[in-house]
Structure 1
Amino acid sequence: MMKNLLKTNLIVGTRSYVYPIYVLIGLAYGLMLMAFPERYLPTMVPLFLLFEPGLVGFMFVGTEIFAEKKDGAIGALAVTPIEWKSYILAKTAILSVLSIVGAVLIMAIGTRSLNGLPYVVVGVFLCSVVYTLLGIGISAKYYDLDDYLVPIMAVLVVSLLPFAHYHGYLQSGVWKVLYLVPSYPALYFFKAPFVDVSRDTLVLSAAALLVWSAIAYYIAKIRFYKYAVEGVR
């Protein structure tokens, strides 16, 4: 069942140009980074990596779900013996792999180097899992992109605040709450190719993202079944 879902999602996502566009965005980010002097790369590359795996995936998975609602695909699947956790995991797996492809393009083209790529791959994969699952859970309630824009903007703003805190802004004690935002632990992986990040910090960051993945999966499973499958408004 999982294999068929992966295959179907890949075919539909490719035919609708969603997945090719996702990869092209990574290519575009890499090309944009070439315009920056090398001294700015340690700041700009992590920012672009955050946009590619997390926030773009958050938006794209919502668009997929809207399309599948409108063409009746989710309704049709509801009368099959499908396990909805497999549906959710299939979408998350594909977008997470695509996010790695995008990240490799950003690193290879934007920095002309693959130094530190293992850190980036781990961070991108975990970050993508979290934001894709959150995207599935949150977008399940909506039926078009116009309604989904407010959650997108809210997630965008909140996810970028850790970036500002990491670079010395928002230094009041109250902003320590930003450590709870999933983009913060991901940021350590994205900075690792450029600055020294201790192994303990990376291990704790990975653990935090895994906890967030579990939370996001629970949210996705409950809300998707309630709003997308059962059709509660």
Structure 2
Amino acid sequence: MIGNIIKTNLILGVRSYVYPIYILIGLAYGLMLMAFPERYLPTMVPIFLLFEPGLVGFMFVGTEIFAEKKDGAIGALAVTPIDWRSYILAKTLLLSMLSIIGAILIMAIGTRSLNGLPYVIVGVFLVSIVYTLLGIAVSAKYYDLDDYFVPIMGVLIISLLPFAHYHGYLTNEIWKVLYLVPSYPGLYFFKAPFEGISTNTLAWSAVALIVWAGVAYYIAKIRFYKYAVEGLR
């Protein structure tokens, strides 16, 4: 069933130009990185990688859900044999795959190299799952992008704070709370092509993102059913 839902979502996403635009954003990020001197790439590439899988995915999944609410597609989940949990998983997996394509474009074009690409792919896949599920959870309550704008900005700001902490700009002990933000473990994967990140650190980062994915799925499952499925009956 998930395979059929993914196929349907892919067709609709291509026809509506949502997914091509998503890929073009990755291409645009890669081209933008070409303007930076090579010494800045270890700092800028991880930021662009977070924007592509995480924050762009967080925004795009919301716009998809708004459109499908208006079309009645989500409301139909309450009266059709399609499992709404499969709907959540299918959308998450599809956007994660698209994020990997975008990340490859960013690395190939922006750095002119694919060194460390396996680290990036793993990080992008896990980060994308977390942020897409969080996007589903948050956007389920809203009906248009105007209402969704404030959560997008909030997630953007919070997700970028770990970069400031990692680079030594937020030194107070209180800022260690940022280790709990999902972009922080993702940052280690995005830094791995440029720095010597230990295998132990990457392993714990993967565990943290998997735990985050489980929490995000649980929240998405509850809120999506409450606000999007049950709320539209």
TM range (shorter): over 0.9
Shift of 1:231: 1.1
Shift in Å at residue 3 of structure 1? 1.5
* 8 Å CA contact 2:93, 2:129 repeated in 1: yes
Q: 1:81 deviation in Å?
A: 1.4
- Tell me the equivalent position of 1:120: 120
Residue aligned with 1:82, SS: coil
Per-residue CA distance 1:199-232 (angstroms, 9 max, x = gap): 0000000000000000000010000000000117
Report the secondary structure of 1:171's partner residue. coil
Aligned to 2:57: 57
1:66-77 to 2 correspondences below 5 Å: 66-77=66-77
Q: Percent identity?
A: 82
5+ unaligned residues in a row in structure 1: which ranges? none
Moved more, 78-87 or 56-65: 78-87
1:85-139, CA deviations, whole angstroms, 9 ceiling, x for partnerless residues?
1000000000000000000000000000000000000000000000000000000
Secondary structure, aligned partner of 1:73:
coil
Query: 1:108 is matched with which residue?
Result: 108
SS of equivalent residue, structure 2 residue 21: helix
Give me the whole-angstrom Cα distance separating, in 2, the residues matched to 1:52 and 1:74: 26
- Normalised by the size of structure 2, how large is the TM-score? 0.99
CA distance in 2, matches of 1:10, 1:77: 18
Instruction: Note the residue ranges of structure 2 that are not aligned, 5 or more in a row.
Output: none
Please name the residue that 1:208 is paired with.
208
Q: Distance in 2 between matches of 1:211 and 1:73?
A: 30
RMSD: 0.7
Post-superposition shift, 1:75? 1.3
* Cα shift readout 1:134-186 (whole Å, capped 9, x = no counterpart): 00000000000000000000000000000100011111000000000000000
Matched, 1:188 2:194: no
Partner of 1:168: 168
Partner of 1:18: 18
Instruction: Find the aligned partners of 2:185 and 2:3 in 1 and give their Cα distance.
Output: 31
TM-score between the two structures when normalised by the length of structure 1: 0.99
